[in-house]
Chains A and B, each alone.
Chain A
Amino acid sequence: MIWEVFRQEREGAAFAHAGSLEAADEAFARAYAHELYGRRNESRALWLVPRGEVCTVDEFVDEFERNYRRVDGYSLKTRLREARERAGTQPE
């Protein structure tokens, strides 16, 4: 049985995928993960997830170009300039 291993490096950090291991059951998976991914105290905690339990979402099509949801949807430079000129605060 394949287990995916997620590793938290320090308190407050996100769990990041570290790799996988093969183990017959949960008890072995715990022991192997401890040895393979934490024997130098390089991990604060590990998450073990049976591979079959991981579901993947990887379709992200932006059909309507919804750039108003993103920072690149906003270009303020010319508008700011115009506003400053009207206010008389545009630096030379």
Chain B
Amino acid sequence: MTSEAQFLEHVQSGGVVEAGDPMPDEYRALLVKFIAMHGNSELMGVLPERDWILRAPTLQRKLALTAKVQDEVGHAQLIYRVCEDLGAPREELLDDLLEGRAKFHNVFHYPTRTWGDVGVIAWLIDAAAIVSQKALLKCSYAPYARIMKKICWEESFHILHGRDVILAMMNGTDEQRELVQEAVIRWWGPIMQFHGTRMPPEKDLVLQYRIKTKDNESLRQEFLDGYVPQIRELGLEVPDPALRYDEGEGRWLYTEPDWDELRQVVSGHGPASADRLDLRRRMRDANAWVRRAVLADAA
């Protein structure tokens, strides 16, 4: 048996890999790409919420939103650290992100139009993300799995914050309720695209190496199981007439998500992609002197 085949058997039978262990180049490259995309998504994912810090309806909400933004940036820090130990320096990862060579999740390419969007992001987008992240707790790459434990723990606060925002609005005026319904309609398409296309598990190398432990469709089904009832119990409508749970098939049926939109958006052509990347570039340039000063001082 080749060492590659042995490695594959090791990870498929539950074995784990540490940073200093020998690993196939293909595995290392897949890890860096996958984990960097996650780090990028945490970093870019705060921008839709950042837009609402100054417009939050109460001081309590402003503080909670600021804390959530700090959490997500903290996750990016932890995740980029994991990439660095795999041989991908953070500055290079940021170059790749800002020059459009690396991706981040589709949902962070859209504008946040109302406070209803902020609630739906913290509630449903974070829920969809947690479903994915929980499937990483058993990742074959142990340093990533360990950091996911901390991240999932912090994300659980975010969902509560999101539900609290949503419940306050749903218990409010007709106008507030309408803002939530409009946000659910706006975000449903991107949410259904979020977990990706139904790729056959045997063709998904990320699954084969047990970097993630569940295929895209299983993750989407898990999200629908958990959250469609929560949406409907508040009297909110999901904007998909075909969406229903089929007892016979034992799964949710739904209108085919717009995969062209997904491809367009994640390749940097979403409605807010250019603005978000531009803001990140300007921030990085504006803060460059701080990094120089800190490093010079320490040297």
Contact = CB atoms under 8 A, between A and B. Distances in A.
Interface of A: 1-2, 17-22, 24-25, 28, 32, 35-36, 39-40, 42
A13 B276 CA distance: 43
A86 B147 CA distance: 58
Given A18-B150, A19-B146, A19-B147, A24 B294 contact: yes
Interface in B50-92: 70, 74, 77-78, 81, 84-85, 90
Contacts of B90: 22
Main secondary structure of the interface of B (DSSP, over half): helix
A36 B84 contact: no
B74 A35 contact: yes
Size band of the interface chain B makes with A = 10 to 19
A35 B84 CA distance: 20
A19 B295 contact: no
Interface of B: 70, 74, 77-78, 81, 84-85, 90, 146-147, 150, 153-154, 294-295, 297-298
Given A19-B146, A19-B147, A22-B84, A36 B295 contact: no
Q: Which 4 A-B pairs have the closest CB atoms?
A: A24-B298, A25-B298, A24-B294, A36-B74
B80 to A, nearest CB: 9
A21 B77 contact: yes
Given A18-B150, A19-B146, A19-B150, A28 B81 contact: no
A8 B150 CA distance: 14
Contacts of B147: 19
Contacts of A36: 74, 77-78
Given A19-B146, A40-B154, 12 more contacts: A2-B84, A17-B146, A19-B81, A19-B150, A20-B81, A24-B297, A24-B298, A28-B294, A28-B298, A36-B77, A36-B78, A39-B70
Contacts of A40: 154
Contacts of A24: 294-295, 297-298
16 contacts: A2-B81, A2-B84, A18-B150, A19-B81, A19-B147, A19-B150, A20-B81, A21-B77, A22-B90, A24-B298, A25-B297, A28-B294, A35-B74, A36-B74, A36-B78, A42-B153
A79 to B, nearest CB: 37
Contact of A19 (B70, B78, B297): B78
A19 B84 CA distance: 13
A22 B81 contact: yes
Nearest to B19: A20
B153 to A, nearest CB: 8
> Which of B78, B147, B153, B295 lies at the interface centre, i.e. has the most chain A CB atoms within 10 A of its CB?
B78
Nearest to B20: A56
Nearest to A1: B298
Contacts of B146: 17, 19
Contacts of B84: 2, 22
A18 B295 CA distance: 25
B280 to A, nearest CB: 19
